[in-house]
Amino acid sequence: MARSPGKTAAASHLERSDAWAGLKSGDPVDVLDDRERGASWRFVACVTNLATEERWVEVVGGRGGDQRRRSFRVDQLYPHRSVRGGVATAAPLLDAPRLPL
């Protein structure tokens, strides 16, 4: 079977979800990472490696209007506007998910 140009097949051991910890794709989030201070991010997906049980989140954004796609550990994602000056003012979404009301 031929693939469309620019498309890649997902590895069978990876499971992607566009919803995680009360977030849906496009929701703004903060990332606690010294190298990414001052960057603005939007949640894209949570990915689980079914073979190793590792999980990470994919986000898009960056500084100054960048639209970079990055992956971070799930414990580095925080509610929007809860990381200031490299210090978290709330629990990470892993520990305190945003629950629907």
Residue 79: is its pLDDT beyond 70?
Answer: yes
Write down the pLDDT at residue 11: 72
68 occurs within a structural domain: yes
pLDDT at 10: 59
The tally of domains found in the chain comes to 1
Whether pTM exceeds 0.85: no
pLDDT value for 100: 57
Q: Measuring CA to CA, how many Å separate 91 from each of 3, 7, 13, 30, 95?
A: 42, 37, 30, 11, 6
Residue 64: what pLDDT? 84
pLDDT of residue 67: 92
For residue 100, the one-letter residue type is P
pLDDT at 6: 40
Asked whether residue 7 carries a pLDDT value surpassing 70, the answer given is no
Q: Is residue 3 part of a domain?
A: no
Closest CA to 48 of 14, 97, 82, 6: 14
Three-state SS at 83 = strand
Task: Provide the domain limits for residue 54.
Answer: 14-88
In a domain, residue 74? The reply is: yes
Three-state secondary structure of 48-80 = EECCCCCEEEEEEEECCCCCEEEEEEHHHEEEC
Q: Average model confidence (pLDDT) for the chain?
A: 87
Query: Does a structural domain hold residue 38?
Result: yes
> Which pLDDT band, with edges at 50, 70 and 90, does 5 fall under?
very low
Residue 56 lies in a domain: yes
**pLDDT at position 61 over 60:** yes
Residue with the two structure tokens 């925080």: 78
Q: How far is the C-alpha of 26 from the C-alpha of 54, rounded, in Å? A: 23
Longest alpha-carbon distance in the chain:
50
- Is residue 75 a part of any domain in this protein? yes
* DSSP summary character for residue 34: G
